[in-house]
């Protein structure tokens, strides 16, 4: 019985670990240019018409490709039965020529789809962490980001 009383009176023990972490991350973006080359497309459709490329009847020209640009041949449509209903549709999108040099940042490229951004400006961008873990984060100019973080971890075993 005395052994049982001794267990009740003994103090509880635990290992306690605490960790405190503070950080500030400051970023200034670099200038960048992103381009996408747009390809050529050509479509033709018709009903109750004959087509010609100017040399051969009932022909649709394959066209030509030069420097990566497609140029469709000239297509003419002649109604099969005059006075009857017919339809003829032709559509062409001119693609971008192949640019072998690429633009410098801020230049306009010959490509149809382009996004260019200037470099970020640090301006008043700043961040500090005190020994007590207090964070101070000040926003900068365009193209910048500032992130402050304080993490508390408590582990009890």
The reply to whether 126 and 110 lie within a common domain is no
The reply to whether 84 and 137 lie within a common domain is no
Kindly state whether residue 5 falls inside one of the protein's structural domains: no
Kindly state whether residue 132 falls inside one of the protein's structural domains: yes
| Structural domain for 147, as ranges | 14-30+119-156
DSSP 3-state helix, strand, coil percentages of the chain (rounded to 5)? 5, 45, 50
Kindly state whether residue 66 falls inside one of the protein's structural domains: yes
The reply to whether 81 and 126 lie within a common domain is no
Q: Is 122 left (phi over 0), alpha (psi -120 to 50) or beta?
A: alpha
The reply to whether 74 and 48 lie within a common domain is yes
**At residue 1, does pLDDT exceed 60?**
no
Kindly state whether residue 55 falls inside one of the protein's structural domains: yes
Residue 66: the pLDDT is 80
Kindly state whether residue 4 falls inside one of the protein's structural domains: no
What is the band of 26 on the pLDDT scale with cuts at 50, 70, 90? very high
Kindly state whether residue 8 falls inside one of the protein's structural domains: no
The reply to whether 64 and 91 lie within a common domain is yes
- Which has the closest alpha carbon to 28: 108, 127, 104, 133? 127
Kindly state whether residue 139 falls inside one of the protein's structural domains: yes
The reply to whether 94 and 135 lie within a common domain is no
As a whole-number percent, the residues of the chain with pLDDT over 90 amount to: 3
**At residue 17, does pLDDT exceed 80?**
yes
Question: How far apart are the C-alpha atoms of 67 and 154, rounded to whole Å?
Answer: 66
**At residue 46, does pLDDT exceed 80?**
yes
Kindly state whether residue 3 falls inside one of the protein's structural domains: no
**At residue 7, does pLDDT exceed 60?**
no
In the block, residue with structure tokens 């497309």 = 41
The reply to whether 52 and 95 lie within a common domain is yes
DSSP state of 101: S
**At residue 81, does pLDDT exceed 60?**
yes
Q: What is the mean pLDDT of residues 80-100?
A: 84
Tally of domains within the chain: 2
Residue 64, classified by CB atoms within 10 Å of its CB into exposed (0-12), middle (13-18) or buried (19+), is exposed
H or E stretch covering 153: strand 144-156
């Amino acid at each position: 019985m005395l052994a049982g009383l001794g267990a009740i009176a003994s103090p509880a023990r635990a290992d306690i670990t605490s960790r405190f972490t503070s950080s500030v991350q400051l970023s200034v973006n670099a200038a960048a240019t992103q381009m996408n080359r747009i390809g050529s497309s050509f479509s033709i459709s018709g009903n109750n018409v004959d087509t010609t490329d100017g040399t051969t009847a009932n022909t649709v020209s394959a066209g030509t490709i030069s420097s990566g640009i497609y140029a469709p041949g000239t297509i003419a449509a002649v109604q099969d039965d005059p006075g009857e209903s017919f339809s003829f549709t032709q559509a062409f999108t001119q693609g971008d020529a192949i640019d072998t040099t690429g633009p410098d940042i801020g230049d306009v490229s010959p490509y149809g789809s382009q996004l260019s951004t200037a470099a970020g400006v640090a301006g008043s961008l700043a961040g500090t962490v005190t020994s007590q873990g207090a964070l101070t984060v000040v926003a900068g100019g365009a193209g910048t980001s500032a992130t402050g973080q304080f993490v508390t971890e408590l582990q009890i075993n």
